[in-house]
Amino acid sequence: MFLAYKNMAHSWINRWLFRLRGPEPGEVFLNQRRVFILPTRAGLAFGATLLVLFIAAVNFNLSLGFGLTFLIAGCALIDIHLTFRNLAHLHLAAGRADPVFAGAEAQFELQLINRRKHERYAIWLGFIGEGMPPLEHPTDVAANATRKISLTAPARARGWLQAPRVRLQTRFPLGLLRAWSYWEPDVRVLVYPYPEPLAPPLPSG
């Protein structure tokens, strides 16, 4: 019963918050509503240090302390903008997916399309979901360019294998914040039955 409610809660969160309603055909655009951003552990520690500096500057009436605090806070505000911009307004598209045998690794080709005039750095991509290994692949995307990347998923059973959900995330440039988004590419792989070892020869004629 608890597992059923948990799955319902995850499904509701995916539909409402992350706006995931199944595979997304065609080219997908990461607008502002699809990109989320929160501080990392380093960012929280940075914020706590900034608060201590501000309290010390107020307590001792240090002009230099105020200047240092506001300078660092300004750098943090710029970092928020750069981290969000590094992921937002990307275009995503699914590429080829060749058939495989059961028990092998299915490869899904994905495309990151950057139609902006600035480069994108240190974007990490990986499949997520039950039974998926926690592997992520970093990539950069040049300005006005397309980057192709292949992600693998285990093909355990024969039939059609739908591409798992993709998580894109970045901590560029300072690692104080983490911006991420989700994508469900509309691509699938045909999984053939695993060849029988030492199979008998085919009948002649």
Among 68-82, 101-115, 171-185, 187-201, which stretch is predicted with the lowest mean pLDDT? Answer: 187-201
What pLDDT shows up at residue 18?
A: 58
- pLDDT tops 80 at residue 7: no
72/190 Cα distance (integer angstroms)? 53
- Helices 63-87 and 41-60 pack at an angle, to 10 degrees, of 160
In Å, what is the CA distance from 133 to each residue of 10, 33, 47, 72?
20, 28, 33, 38
153/166 Cα distance (integer angstroms)? 11
* DSSP secondary structure, 21-75, as one string: -S-B-S-EE--GGG-EEEE-HHHHHHHHHHHHHHHHHHHHT-HHHHHHHHHHHHH
For residue 134, what pLDDT band results from cuts at 50, 70 and 90?
confident
128/14 Cα distance (integer angstroms)? 13
132/45 Cα distance (integer angstroms)? 31
- Average of per-residue pLDDT across 124-144: 91
- pLDDT tops 80 at residue 140: yes
9 or 62: which leads in pLDDT: 62
What pLDDT shows up at residue 122?
A: 96
Of all residues in the chain, the percent with pLDDT exceeding 90 is 75
Fold of 24-191: Immunoglobulin-like (2.60.40)
Mapping DSSP to helix (H, G, I), strand (E, B) and coil, where does residue 82 land? helix
- pLDDT tops 80 at residue 4: no
Q: Which of 20, 10, 7, 8 is nearest to 181 (CA)?
A: 20
What pLDDT shows up at residue 13?
A: 53
187 or 23: which leads in pLDDT: 187
What is the chain's mean pLDDT, rounded? 89
* DSSP secondary structure, 55-67, as one string: HHHHHHT-HHHHH
- pLDDT tops 60 at residue 38: yes
Domain boundaries, the chain: 24-191
